[in-house]
Amino acid sequence: MKILVPIKRVVDYNVKIRVKSDQTGVDLANVKMSMNPFDEIAVEEAIRLKEAGKATEVIAVSIGVQQTTETIRTALAMGADRGILVKTDETVEPLNVAKILKAIAEEEKPDLIILGKQAIDDDCNQTGQMLAAILGWAQGTFASKVELEGGKLKLTREIDGGLQTLMLSMPAVVTTDLRLNEPRYASLPNIMKAKKKPIDEKSPSDYGVDVKARLEVLKVTEPPQRQAGIKVESVEQLVSKLKEAGVIG
Ligand code: AMP
């Protein structure tokens, strides 16, 4: 079984986001970038399937600027076998990402594609669903457990108020939820080994995809500043303030 794992380079989740003063987007100058956390979970799941003898090859693919190679190297250090960088300086919208991934899937013929459920920069939560649709493959989103059973994929999904279990025929597209696993840190020897693993460099036009944006961002703004609270002198004052605010009767 061959597994394709699409990974996105995003602003690190610990970074305090700064909006550009002209409101055209987020300031990326001198900002730490990392692999999208849900994609780390996807890489981990693919590697675990390989370690369990159920997968033969794990390919990490990313669409982005040249520095995205570093993100692919992280996936290789975690245990992926090889990488594909589809290099572009454009911001690529989910539908175009899905079109490029479809072309790669047709070339590589994976049995399974595991994506993150959403990228923490655009919060789109679209790419996996679009990819499954245009490939015509089965899809299982927000997976919290993935098991192979008789050539099929048994998938547990987190839904409102409970869990849903699905049986998917392969090839399939799966997207990861937070509780699927805890991604490993790459060890130093594996970081060294990853330097020798191959990364193919391609461009969107190699896959016949025009990445021109269809959406126009009108503006990006900071969330409103929180109002400062007040200090109360006593429990009685607290109770009367809560009554005034209608929080208690
Ligand atoms: P989104 O639909 O933008 O929230 O992204 C969902 C998932 O699609 C991510 O977690 C990645 O697995 C994948 N993805 C999105 N953008 C890219 C990209 N530029 N390169 C590779 N994978 C991506």
| Exposure class string for 156-171: b at 16+ Cβ within 10 A, else e | bbbeeeeeeebebeeb
CA of 211 to the centre of ligand 1 (A): 14
Is the model's pLDDT at 218 over the cut of 90? yes
Per-residue confidence (pLDDT) for residue 107, from 0 to 100: 97
Residue 208 token pair: 């016949």
What is the mean pLDDT of the segment spanning 24-46? Answer: 96
pLDDT averaged over every residue in the chain: 95
Pocket lining for ligand 1, CB < 6 angstroms: 6-8, 36, 38-39, 62-64, 92, 94, 97, 115-116, 118-119, 122, 124-128
| Buried/exposed code over 69-100 (b: 16+ C-beta within 10 A; e: otherwise) | bebbbbbbbbbbbbbbbbbbeeebbbbbbbbb
Cα 245 to ligand 1 centre (Å): 44
- Please say whether the beta carbons of 58 and 51 come within 8 A: no
- pLDDT score at 36: 98
Helix (H) or strand (E) holding 236: helix 235-244
The mean pLDDT of 103-112, rounded to a whole number, is 98
Residue 224 has pLDDT above 90, yes or no: no
pLDDT grade for 161, boundaries at 50, 70 and 90:
confident
Q: What is the pTM of this model?
A: 0.91
Of the chain, the end-to-end C-alpha distance in Å amounts to 62
- Give nearest CA residue, ligand 1 atom 6: 118
State how far the Cα of 73 lies from the Cα of 228, in Å rounded to an integer: 44
Q: What is the rounded distance in angstroms from the CA atom of residue 61 to the CA atom of residue 86?
A: 8
Q: For residues 154 and 167, what is the distance between their CA atoms, to the nearest angstrom? A: 5
Tokens matching residue 16: 């305090």
Question: How many other CB atoms are found less than 10 A from the CB of residue 195?
Answer: 9
CB-based contact 11:17 (threshold 8 Å)? yes
Radius of gyration of the CA atoms of the chain, in A: 22
From 3, 35, 36, the mutation candidate for ligand 1 (largest count of ligand atoms within 8 A of CB) is 36
pLDDT at position 223 is 86
Distance CA 90, CA 130 (A): 20
Per-residue pLDDT for 133 more than 90? yes
Q: 161 CB contacts (<8 Å, ≥6 apart)?
A: none
Model pLDDT for residues 59-105, shown as the tens digit of each residue: 999 999 999 999 999 999 999 999 999 999 999 999 999 999 999 99
